[in-house]
Chains A and B, each alone.
Chain A
Amino acid sequence: MDNVLTYIVSGYNYWAALILIMIGMYGMIAKNNLLKKVIGMSIFQSAIILFYISISYKSNASIPIIAHGHGVADHTAIDPNLYVNPLPHVLMLTAIVVGVATLGVALAVLQKIYRVHGTIEEDEILESIKE
């Protein structure tokens, strides 16, 4: 029991991302309302962003800005353990932009669906297609 707890606690950020991914997948697969599917998609993308951000963390490290680094003549070697990894943050800035764009396109298409079919419930749309 103790081992299991340590196992879960040691990687709690991965568990959180996993649970969020599962919630997002559930929303996309099981929900009947198309807007809820879009929300599930957004949760799914955010979970991956959190996953990336969490892997850049180091204990007892500070933000990746080198104090007095600029213009100092003697370039002493920088200890990477003192700073969190900035690269995943930068990558996720791009991923956030992509996520916002996807959300925008999905909502625009959803609006068109509502205008054409008069509803955003999937089963009602399928009914109206069959007729």
Chain B
Amino acid sequence: MIAAQTPILILLAPLFSGILITIFAQKSKNVAFFLLILGMVGSFSAACNVLLQVLQGSGPIHYRLGDWPPPFGIELVIDHLSGMVLFMVSGAALLTAIYSKHTVEVEIPDRIHHYYTLYTLLVSGLLGMVATGDVFNLYVLLEISALSSYALLARGRGLAYIATFKYIIIGTIGASFYLLGVGYLYIKTGTLNMADLSTMLATPEMHQSPSIKIGFIFIILGIWIKMAFFPLQGWLPNAYSCASTTTSCLIAPLMTKVSVYIMIRLMFSVFSADYIFKTLQWQQFMVWMACIAIVVGSVSALAQRNLKRMLCYIVVAEVGYMVGGVWLANSNGFSGAVYHIMSDVMMTLCLFMAVGAVIYKTGETSLEAMRGIFRRMPITAAAFLVGGFSIIGIPPTCGFFSKWYLITGAIETGQFHFVIALLFSSLINAILFFRIIEIGFFSPFDENGHGTHQVIVVNEAPAMMLVPMVISAASLIIIGLYTRFLMSNIVQWTIPVGL
């Protein structure tokens, strides 16, 4: 009985824990934290269960909300792609929830229960966006997660308010564009269900219709704004780097990756590979845009003196990897992009957690905060190194394998500029991380300039922060080692028809 209801439990567990936190946890921080963990564990175990069902069973799971049959009612559709993304999102949310215990107490001293309620709402919005099979429902969940992320980002420091305000304006334009595009599709087809839409859009008249084309342009523009794809990335670095540590650990890995997932879902489950690559034929242009995004993101990251801002620009570059991989229009590029969604969630999570721990201990946010890091905080430093190696793409971390697939895909289609952009970005990332390693090993620790031969006390972050960080760092290596398994069991099944 309960097994049939697990798809909806993925979203309901965080939602209800949010409601419970608002009601019961006004006085006590520990109750709020306990309820948050409870919700995240519930959601994660439901996601594991559903992923296992998908892997064992035949075909995707359809869950009808209120038992209304699909074209009229809303349904949740969980196939290999969405099952995998649900697993990663709920897992990352659980790890960040454990991590948040200490940072939230320092950075958000008052009204912790409100903060945690927004946290759960954001997570359930993101999970809902991944699971839903209805384009209008997707808009509503997009706005739920966007609204809670505005409120979370605004509770930061420095210029957080003004940065969040810009994000509100730009994010609303993005969501409204998406809604407008859905309106065009609704006028032409009269349905909002994704599966129904894709059968209606498959006819030649629909392929030639300018309304459908305009609708697609509006939808894809809206999603690009949400995922901070070049040249629409202006809001991201300010908004994410001014946010508190927990917020950036949660939002930076998940928000952009879920948007990439939605782009893939709409491109191939609502429209078709045929329509996108044969009728529209944007792939040349789009791969060039992805190359520019990668180069701009990497070069801007190199110019930063603030650790978090540097990571934010790396996120912008990583979005370019995935968009480029999808628009390469062949199966290797596509699997590279899907695999990269999986690994990039963990890479950015690991890096943001390590940097968050450094900021928590030193109170500094500049690159100089990393001085003496290898002796003061050896475990954090090791996690940071693994994350950095994965971003650079050093085997056996998963970053190497996603780049491998992306480059193979690019060579197969002859898009050598994409290969060059990927290698260029690897080089820049190598410079970035080795510069930090140099600061960590060789820079004198104290201001007088003679820190190298005095005793430095190990001053590691608390265990509640270290455990999730080490898990995320270990998962980078595990994902890398099990690449073949993941490719043949999950990623291979996500490749859409026509690629």
Establish whether residues A106 and B168, one from each chain, have CB atoms under 8 Å apart when the complex forms: yes
In the complex, A44→B173 CA distance in Å?
Answer: 8
| CB contact list, A36-95 vs B, under 8 A | 37-38, 41, 44-45, 48, 51-52, 55, 88, 91, 94-95
Q: Is B195 an interface residue (CB 8 A)?
A: no
B161 contacts A94, C-beta separation under 8 Å: no
Interface residues of B in 145-195 (CB under 8 A from A): 147, 150-151, 154, 159, 161-162, 164-165, 168-169, 172-173, 175-176, 179-180, 183, 186-187
Closest B residue to A91 by CB, please name it: B136
User: Within residues 52 to 75 of chain B, which ones have a CB less than 8 A from any CB in chain A?
Assistant: none
Nearest residue, chain A, Cβ from B180: A48
For the complex formed, measure the closest distance between the CB of B435 and the CB atoms of chain A, giving whole angstroms. 27
Q: Give the B interface residue count (CB, 8 A).
A: 24
Contact with B along A8-29 (1 / 0, CB 8 A): 0000000000000100010010
> Which secondary structure dominates chain A's binding surface?
helix
- How far apart sit A128 and B69, CA to CA, in the bound complex (Å)? 57
Selected contact of A41 from candidates B139, B172, B183, CB within 8 Å: B172
- Give the distance in Å from the alpha carbon of A47 to the alpha carbon of B143 in the complex: 17
Flag whether B140 is at the interface (Cβ < 8 A): yes
The distance from the CB of B225 to the nearest CB of chain A, in whole angstroms, is 13
What's the Cα separation between A105 and B121 when bound, in Å?
15
Q: Which residues of A contact B183 (CB under 8 A)?
A: 48, 51-52, 55
Q: Which residue of B lies closest to A37 (CB)?
A: B169
**A110 & B165 in contact (Cβ 8 Å cutoff):** yes
A95–B186 CA distance with the chains assembled, in angstroms: 15
Check A48–B179 contact: CB distance below 8 A.
yes
A21 to B183, CA, bound (A): 14
Chain A min CB distance to B221 (Å):
13
CB 8 Å contact bits of A90-114 with B (1 = contact, 0 = none): 0100110010011001101110110
Residues of the A chain whose Cβ atoms lie less than 8 Å from the Cβ of B175: 98
Chain B residues within 8 Å of A52, by CB:
183
Q: Is the CB of B172 within 8 A of A102?
A: yes
Q: Is the CB of B161 within 8 A of A55?
A: no
Interface of B is mostly: helix
Closest chain A residue, CB of each to CB of B137: A94
Once the chains bind, are B151 and A105 in contact (CB under 8 Å)? yes
Do B161 and A109 touch (CB < 8 A)? yes
Are A102 and B162 closer than 8 Å at their CB atoms? no
Chain B residues contacting A38 (CB-CB under 8 Å) are 169
Query: Closest residue of chain B to A105, judged by CB?
Result: B150
Residues of A within 8 A of B173 (CB): 25, 28, 41, 44
Say if the beta carbon of A116 comes within 8 Å of chain B.
yes
Enumerate chain B residues within 8 angstroms of A25, measured Cβ to Cβ. 173
**In chain B, what residue has the closest Cβ to A42?**
B172
Give the CA-CA distance A45 to B180 in the complex, in Å. Answer: 10
The residue of chain A having its C-beta at the shortest distance from the C-beta of B154 within the complex is A109
Q: A interface, how many residues as a size bin?
A: 20 to 34
Q: B165 to A34, Cβ gap below 8 A? A: yes
Q: Is the CB of B165 within 8 A of A45?
A: no
* Inter-subunit contact A95/B147 (CB<8 Å): no
Contacts of A88 in B (CB 8 A): 186
The residue in A51, A102, A129 that gathers the most chain B C-beta atoms within 10 A of its C-beta is: A102
Could you say which residues of chain B place their CB within 8 Å of the CB of A45? Answer: 172, 176
* A98 and B140 contacting across the interface, CB-CB below 8 Å: yes
**Bound CA span A34–B143, Å:** 21
Question: How far apart are B219's CB and chain A's nearest CB, in angstroms?
Answer: 13
**Cα distance A120–B136 in the bound complex, in angstroms:** 34
A2 to chain B, nearest CB (A): 23
Task: Compute how far the CA of A51 lies from the CA of B150 in the bound complex, rounded to whole angstroms.
Answer: 27
Q: Chain B contacts of A125 at CB under 8 A? A: 162
Chain A residues whose C-beta falls within 8 Å of the C-beta of B186 in the assembled complex: 55, 88
**B141: min CB distance to chain A, Å:** 11
Q: A45-B176, A109-B154, A112-B154 are in contact. Are A55 and B187 (CB under 8 A)?
A: yes
State which of A44, A108, A113, A129 has its C-beta within 8 Å of the C-beta of B176.
A44
Q: Contact flags (1/0) for B239-278 with A, using CB distance below 8 Å?
A: 0000000000000000000000000000000000000000
A5 CB to nearest B CB, Å: 22
Closest residue of chain A to B146 (Cβ to Cβ) is A102
A29 CB → nearest B CB, Å: 9
* Interface contact A109-B140, CB-CB below 8 Å: no
A82 to B86: give the CA distance in the assembly, Å. 44
CB distance from B24 to the nearest CB of A (A): 24
A113 touches B169 (CB 8 A): no
- Chain B residues with Cβ below 8 Å from A91 are 136
Contact A94-B169, Cβ < 8 Å, known A51-B180, A102-B147: no
Q: List 13 A-B contacts (CB under 8 A).
A: A34-B165, A38-B169, A41-B168, A44-B172, A48-B176, A48-B179, A48-B183, A55-B187, A98-B147, A102-B168, A106-B165, A116-B161, A125-B162
Interface set of B (CB-CB < 8 Å, partner A): 136, 139-140, 143, 147, 150-151, 154, 159, 161-162, 164-165, 168-169, 172-173, 175-176, 179-180, 183, 186-187
- Known A28-B173, A41-B173, A109-B154; further 18 A-B contacts with Cβ < 8 A: A38-B169, A44-B176, A48-B180, A91-B136, A94-B136, A98-B175, A101-B143, A102-B143, A102-B168, A102-B172, A105-B147, A105-B151, A105-B168, A106-B165, A108-B154, A109-B150, A113-B165, A129-B159
